[in-house]
DNA sequence: CTGAAAGCGCTAACAT
DNA sequence: ATGTTAGCGCTTTCAG
């Protein structure tokens, strides 16, 4: 015999009240006489009743779950953001449906539609760039969206970031002040606005202020992978660079190890500044100087912003820029 | 005016068929005449109809979502498992609700109940140990459960692991063969059966076979954190150990760096074998020799097993042990 | 403070 | 091959 699922109706019957009343006590509605509440609670406990969130979702049109689109959870940059997101979600009684997109444009759209079909109350999107098709989907639905660590030039949806332009300008300036005039800029795809626009222009600005001529040959574009960094070392040496600003920690560790494996001394002969201040910066030897991007906080703030949006509260500004700074460690002098 | 959500009923009306027929084409039921299917599909497209997964879930009692309980997504060990889980979930059209538990017993139970309330079709649990209360919850519900990288001495639910006993025995044996007789065993909480039972006994077995006397003083218990490893270095040196088998990569990097910061040469004066073969083993210098635990695959296989369980297929064996081996790198001679 | 009743949008027999 | 009709378990007016 199948174990009978017990419903709000069973509780109502056993407690000699209506379903409405049971619903009220389950939802903490104050309009219930304490005595009735007590009676209902007892029955709930006795019957071991568990509200069915799906039914509730259908009736109330709220699922208390939000969709999180992430390029890759196993990447520490994104998983740090995700952790901040989930902690705040939990705090506000939301669950998150996590979906990996591999940063693949088509997959992102599929995943988004899937999430929307599941009636999520909101979406947090992480990715390297916002394609036109995904932006179209965003505006097609009325579900609130927040970008975490991702730039939307159009500012149509909420977003939480640091000032990437300023941060990379500062990082580059540190290197320039240390006397370098051949500073490499090493990033992922330059078509991603965060790299090709915000960061690269920050880098150029710093060069200009230090009266250093920009050289195309010092700009490197590569996958965000440790191995890619190791391999890139040789080309960097050949470029004549004596310092580098790198946009990703895993990449930076790869480059530094690659450099050192080839006998280049860091920081004596080559200085490095990386961008994400993840735990990797502490694990490397020498430890990596880094821009500190408050990843966990960025995730947390994104989710907090989303709760406001879902609640239809007024938000003064839905493009949030968090503070950053530079943490000096052993990879710079 | 609110944007009216369009339902299966609207499609039925516009296509001059019944809801049932629309439902059939949406669900790929073959019992539909091609012509009707075409007509319905056109209307669906024209109206931009999106099936509501919540309603479907309520009616069909299947949500096509599984709950994933994870101690911490930002830990690379677990996020690697999670990635494998999600990839296979996607393959089988499931979504995952990800919930961080911090390895906290009480939170695990809360989170599990929350997931169950959301009517997930199955659960994947990751954690350092299975408490009695969580095991009680598992058996209370009829929702299938699979443990990923976690041991259940009772074997009541499915699980996917490697043979931790054999693996740590082999790792310890390598160290013994290299001439060490003071080999440290460094792990997280020994109350966790995976550490205190499987791994520790494997370690002892290897010592015994190498005719080395077991010494309590060479067993270290510490949090799974980089910093904890760095700090532990001094105590390890004082213990007289000249080699160590370590159960976690982040910890291992910390210990190795701590040792080297104090002038101990690895592997010349101290050899290390770690356990998870994550990307960290490649990032460290020297690179870390490691047991290779196929994390991504373990996640993937867990999810595959869960799909079978959810489908009520017969599974020959629900305790799956995946193969492991040892990858030699620079931290051993 | 409590109850009655109408859905929420879809699936799943059961008919035809 | 297609339609009819009950629900799925809960929330939410609307009455009283």
Which of A100-114, A140-154, A272-286, B210-224 has the least mean pLDDT?
Answer: A140-154
Closest-CA residue to A98 (of B142, B304, B70, B75): B70
Question: For chain B, what percentages of helix, strand and coil (3-state, to nearest 5) are there?
Answer: 45, 15, 35
CB contact under 8 A, A50 and B250: no
Fold of B164-293: Rossmann fold (3.40.50)
Q: Domain map of chain B by residue range? A: 8-47, 65-161+295-322, 164-293
φ, ψ (nearest 5 deg) of residue B10:
-60, -45
φ, ψ (nearest 5 deg) of residue A27:
-95, 10
Q: What's the rounded Cα separation, in Å, for the pair B279 and B277?
A: 7
**CATH of A65-161+295-322 given 3.30.70.20, 3.10.450.50, 3.40.50.720, 3.40.50.2300:** 3.40.50.2300
CA diameter of chain A: 84
Is a pLDDT exceeding 50 seen at residue A82?
A: yes
Instruction: For residue A221, list its beta bridge partners.
Output: A187
Phi-psi region of A69 (alpha: psi -120 to 50; beta: other; left: phi over 0): beta
DSSP B75-129: SHHHHHHHHHHHHHHHHTT-EEEEEE-TT-HHHHHHHHHHHHHTT-SEEEE--S-
Residues 14-53 of chain B in contact with strand C via CB under 7 angstroms: 19-20, 23, 26-27, 49-52
Q: How far is CA B130 from CA A149, A162, B191, B192, B198, in A?
A: 36, 40, 11, 8, 15
CB contact under 8 A, B279 and A65: no
φ, ψ (nearest 5 deg) of residue B249:
-65, -45
Mutate to test the interface with A, among B2, B4, B5, B53 (most CBs of A within 10 A): B53
Residue that has been written with the tokens 């199948």 in this structure: A2
Is a pLDDT exceeding 80 seen at residue B223?
A: yes
Q: What's the rounded Cα separation, in Å, for the pair A132 and A148?
A: 18
Please say whether the beta carbons of A22 and A12 come within 8 A. Answer: yes
φ, ψ (nearest 5 deg) of residue A162:
-110, 175
Please say whether the beta carbons of A329 and A286 come within 8 A. Answer: yes
* pLDDT confidence of residue A140: 86
Residue that has been written with the tokens 């700074």 in this structure: A325
Homologous superfamily assigned to B8-47? lambda repressor-like DNA-binding domains (1.10.260.40)
Q: What's the rounded Cα separation, in Å, for the pair B84 and B89?
A: 9
Give the mean model confidence (pLDDT) for residues A249-273: 97
Please say whether the beta carbons of A160 and A302 come within 8 A. Answer: yes
| Structure tokens that stand for A230 in this block | 């190791």
Q: 3-class SS at A320? A: strand
| Structure tokens that stand for A172 in this block | 């580059």
Give the mean model confidence (pLDDT) for residues A46-71: 97
Is a pLDDT exceeding 70 seen at residue B1?
A: no
Q: What's the rounded Cα separation, in Å, for the pair A196 and A201?
A: 8
| Structure tokens that stand for B183 in this block | 């080999």
Nearest to A97 among B51, B95, B296 (CB): B95
Strand D bases near protein CB (under 7 Å) are 1-13
φ, ψ (nearest 5 deg) of residue A97:
-100, 120
Q: What's the rounded Cα separation, in Å, for the pair A298 and A166?
A: 17
Give the pLDDT band (50/70/90) at residue A1. very low
Q: How far is CA A68 from CA A53, A81, A108, A114, A120, in A?
A: 19, 11, 11, 12, 10
Is a pLDDT exceeding 70 seen at residue A3?
A: no
CA B105 to chain centre: 17
DSSP A113-178: HHHHHTT-SEEEE--S---HHHHHHHHHS-S-EEEES---TT--SEEEEE-HHHHHHHHHHHHHHT
Is a pLDDT exceeding 90 seen at residue A156?
A: no
Is a pLDDT exceeding 90 seen at residue A155?
A: no
CB contact under 8 A, A117 and B79: no
Is a pLDDT exceeding 90 seen at residue A322?
A: yes
* pLDDT confidence of residue B2: 52
Nearest CA in chain B to A80: B74
Q: What's the rounded Cα separation, in Å, for the pair A30 and B189?
A: 45
CB contact under 8 A, B119 and A74: no
CB contact under 8 A, B97 and A97: yes
Which of A58-67, A131-140, B66-75, B168-177 has the least mean pLDDT?
Answer: A131-140
Q: What is the pLDDT of residues A203-251, one digit of tens each?
A: 999 999 999 999 999 999 999 999 999 999 999 999 999 999 999 999 9
Chain B residues lying within 8 Å of A73, measured CB to CB: 73, 79, 82-83, 86
Nearest CA in chain B to A50: B117
Q: What's the rounded Cα separation, in Å, for the pair B139 and B143?
A: 8
Closest-CA residue to A202 (of A252, A163, A240, A156): A163
Q: What's the rounded Cα separation, in Å, for the pair B255 and A135?
A: 46
Q: What is the pLDDT of residues A287-309, one digit of tens each?
A: 999 999 999 999 999 999 999 99
Give the mean model confidence (pLDDT) for residues B180-185: 97
The rounded radius of gyration (Å) of the Cα atoms in chain A is 25
| Residue A2 contacts strand C, CB under 7 A | no
Q: What's the rounded Cα separation, in Å, for the pair B9 and A136?
A: 26
Q: What's the rounded Cα separation, in Å, for the pair B99 and A82?
A: 11
Give the contacts of B48 (CB within 8 A, at least 6 positions apart): B6
- When the pLDDT of each residue in chain A is averaged and rounded to a whole number, the result is 95
- When the pLDDT of each residue in chain B is averaged and rounded to a whole number, the result is 95
Nearest CA in chain B to A110: B90
Q: What is the pLDDT of residues B227-280, one digit of tens each?
A: 999 999 999 999 999 999 999 999 999 999 999 999 999 999 999 999 999 999
Same fold, B8-47 and B65-161+295-322: no
CA diameter of chain B: 84
Give the mean model confidence (pLDDT) for residues A141-162: 91
* pLDDT confidence of residue B40: 95
């Amino acid at each position: 015999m199948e174990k009978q699922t017990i419903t709000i109706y069973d509780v109502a019957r056993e407690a000699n009240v209506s379903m409405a009343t049971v619903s009220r006590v389950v939802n903490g509605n104050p309009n219930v006489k304490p005595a009735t509440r007590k009676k209902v609670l007892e029955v709930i406990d006795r019957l071991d009743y568990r509200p069915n969130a799906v039914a509730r979702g259908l009736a109330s049109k709220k699922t208390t779950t939000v969709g999180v689109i992430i390029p890759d959870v196993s990447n520490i940059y994104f998983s740090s953001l995700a952790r901040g997101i989930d902690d705040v979600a939990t705090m506000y009684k939301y669950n998150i449906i996590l979906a990996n997109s591999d940063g693949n444009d088509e997959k992102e759209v599929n995943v988004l539609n899937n999430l929307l079909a599941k009636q999520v109350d909101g979406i947090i999107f992480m990715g390297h760039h916002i394609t036109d098709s995904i932006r179209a989907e965003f505006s097609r639905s009325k579900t609130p969206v927040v970008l975490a660590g991702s730039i939307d030039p159009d500012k149509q949806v909420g977003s939480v970031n640091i000032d990437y332009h300023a941060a990379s300008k500062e990082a580059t300036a540190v290197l320039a002040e240390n006397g370098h005039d051949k500073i490499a800029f090493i990033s992922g795809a330059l078509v991603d606005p965060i790299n090709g626009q915000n960061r690269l222009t920050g880098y150029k600005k710093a060069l200009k202020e230090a009266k250093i001529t920009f050289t195309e040959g010092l700009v490197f574009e590569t996958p965000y992978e440790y191995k890619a960094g190791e391999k890139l070392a040789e080309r960097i040496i050949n470029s004549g660079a004596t310092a580098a600003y790198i946009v990703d920690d895993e990449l930076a560790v790869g480059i530094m190890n690659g450099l050192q494996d080839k006998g280049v001394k860091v920081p004596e002969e080559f200085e490095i500044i990386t961008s994400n201040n993840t735990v990797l910066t502490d694990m490397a030897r020498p430890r990596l100087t880094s821009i500190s991007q408050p990843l966990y906080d960025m995730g947390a703030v994104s989710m907090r912003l989303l709760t406001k949006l879902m609640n239809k509260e007024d938000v003064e500004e839905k493009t949030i820029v968090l503070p950053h700074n530079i943490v000096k460690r052993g990879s710079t002098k």
